Amino acid sequence: MPSLGSGLSLFAVVNTGTNADFNPQNNALQMTIEPNITAVNVQFGPITVLSNGAVQVSMTGLAGQTYLVEVSTNQVDWSTLTEVTLTNGVGQFMDTSTNNVYRAVVLSQAQPQLGAPQLLSGAAQISVTGLAGQTYVIEGATDLVNWLPIYTNGGSFMFADPTATNYQQRFYRALIP
């Protein structure tokens, strides 16, 4: 699979008839998906050398986020040392080797979960379940192509879209900005 660093182009051909053709000049759609890469904001330290020669490394970052801690002696070749989930934004790990450099790689993005929309008092009400400390942008669209930001909040929350009844159909998604 190619790297998503500069986006990934998808091409789909849709045929409504019974004969499939792959002529890109008719009934085709191309779209580029840009990666949603969140900067990893993790601080390492303090580092405590234990009596057995191992080190204990503390780390702070986004509460509830899980990271792979990678280790290197030359900052070129990296290997996975451990997996750490930050409870209340704090975690720690042990390393029995010496003279290592560490980096954290996001193992699981703090992806939000959207509840089923409910129409209450003329507005679409949607629950969003996310991680405390993580900001989410709610976007709306009528066609699954042209998305517009309509609400921003953090953690878990409820949001209302009073304009939902102005559209024949309305779609929602939540993104990490």
Are residues 24 and 92 in contact, defined by beta-carbon separation less than 8 angstroms? Answer: no
95 and 59 within one domain: yes
Residues 104 and 59 occupy one common structural domain: yes
Average pLDDT, stretch 16-36? 49
- Residue 130: the pLDDT is 77
Q: Are residues 90 and 58 in the same domain?
A: yes
Last residue of a domain, one of 108, 125, 159: 108
Task: Output the average pLDDT for the chain.
Answer: 76
What is the three-class DSSP state of 165? helix
Shared domain check, 59 and 10:
no
Digit-coded pLDDT (tens) for 55-94? 899 999 887 778 888 888 888 888 888 888 888 889 999 9
**SS3 for 115?**
coil
Q: Are residues 124 and 101 in the same domain?
A: no
Say whether both 103 and 154 belong to one domain. Answer: no
In total, how many domains does the chain have?
3
Contacts for 170-173 with beta carbons within 8 Å, 24 or more apart? Answer: 170/124, 170/140, 170/141, 170/142, 171/140, 171/141, 171/142, 171/144, 172/114, 172/117, 172/124, 172/126, 172/138, 172/139, 172/140, 173/114, 173/138, 173/139, 173/141, 173/147
Nearest partner of 128 among 139, 140, 138, 118, judged by Cα: 138
pLDDT of residue 104 exceeding 80: yes
Residue-range definition of the domain harbouring residue 102 = 43-108
Residue 106's pLDDT band, with cuts at 50, 70 and 90, is: confident
The DSSP element (H or E) to which 66 belongs, if any, is strand 66-72
Split at pLDDT 50, 70, 90, the class of 2 is very low
Does 101 share its domain with 123?
A: no
